[in-house]
Amino acid sequence: MEYRIALNFEDGVTRFIQCRDNETVLDAAYRQRINLPMDCSDGVCGTCKGQCERGEFDLGDEYLDEALSDEEAARGQVLTCQMVPASDCVVRIAADSTRCKTGIGEYVGTLASVEALSDDSLELSIDLDAGTELGFLPGQYVNIDIPGENAYRAYSFSSAPGTTRATFLIRNVPDGRMSGYLRERAAPGDRMTLKGPLGSFYLRPVSRPILMLAGGTGLAPMLAMLAQLQAQGSAQPVHLIYGVNRDDHLVKCEALDAFAEALPDFAYTTVVVDEQSTHPRKGYVTHHLAAEMLNDGDVDVYLCGPPPMVDAVLAHFDSLGLEPAGFYYEKFTPKRVEEAA
């Protein structure tokens, strides 16, 4: 029996390792040449302390309270030198990946297709090379190279983890370097390099209702999360509010319809900013947040979109005096990506 362990480092890098039956996470990492923080490896010093964000495990009782208190253990903190997984797990490591002598993974694939979904967005599909296993958590992103330009741009997966074809929603920016390549020069068979996965925006364990708020191509990570929810058979209510600037910018609604059919308690609402729109719901996502979606704060909120939208949602929650039980967001900034939103 082997379990898949996602190690999330402080610099945003995620690396996946395989942990054998009755093997500690620390030993499995070292076996796969990832040097997690450690001093004693005996549960005495606490140097290897991390946070398990998903999964089942056994810590045993052969460690000192000075290394990990009962209160810390109750909050999901672990000693990786003592942690023996009993399922796939996600573990947050309190160190940069470079300190652990690892780094961003690099993967190669072949451009399969580019589809213009609207004048505002493109869908890029890349077939990973045979034998490539690009693990990621739904919601994360990779840096994709622009062939022939020695430049990378960051995009969130819209496809589900574990598939050999990776898909991405990309904003079609008139002067964007990736957009220009995809519009004018891209051809099936082009070789492309992906670096990652990266980011702390990903689907957490589902224990309460979920509210997803997406703006434009910020829909991409939500599609990956919905695919994961479908695969794991989540029974919690999920509502997505998806906002765009114009009617013709609404894309992938057929995919959302399919999720609505497959997930027993999933619904989505579309919103258009343009005042001249014929859409039945106009304005911004904050204008359409019904009280039942917020569930008196007992809700996990996932928010992805351009900076003005993210800032507006944060301000809206402040004005309500509401702090969701879980609040995770990805903001498309110039540093994050030139043309993702």
- Consecutive 10-residue averages of pLDDT for the chain (341 residues): 94 94 96 92 92 94 91 95 96 92 92 95 96 90 93 94 93 92 95 93 93 95 96 91 93 96 94 89 89 92 91 90 90 45 33
Strands (E), the chain: 2-8, 14-20, 49-54, 57-58, 77-79, 84-85, 89-93, 105-116, 121-128, 141-146, 151-156, 165-171, 191-198, 210-215, 238-244, 266-272, 300-305, 326-331
Task: Bin 11: left if φ > 0, else alpha if -120 < ψ < 50, else beta.
Answer: alpha
Question: Is residue 266 classed exposed, middle or buried when 0-12, 13-18 and 19+ CB atoms within 10 A define those classes?
Answer: buried
> So what's the pLDDT on residue 334?
40
Under 8 Å between Cβ of 138 and 202 = yes
Strands 151-156 and 141-146: antiparallel
Angle separating helix axes 253-262 and 219-232, nearest 10 degrees: 20
The closest of 54, 68, 208, 79 to 139, measured between CA atoms, is: 54
Phi, psi dihedrals of residue 268, rounded to the nearest 5°: -135, 155
Under 8 Å between Cβ of 85 and 55 = yes
> So what's the pLDDT on residue 332?
63
**Cα 29 from Cα 16, distance rounded (Å):** 9
Strands 2-8 and 84-85: unpaired
> So what's the pLDDT on residue 133?
83
What contacts 78, CB < 8 A, 6 or more positions away?
25, 49, 50, 51, 52, 57, 59, 68, 91
> So what's the pLDDT on residue 341?
33
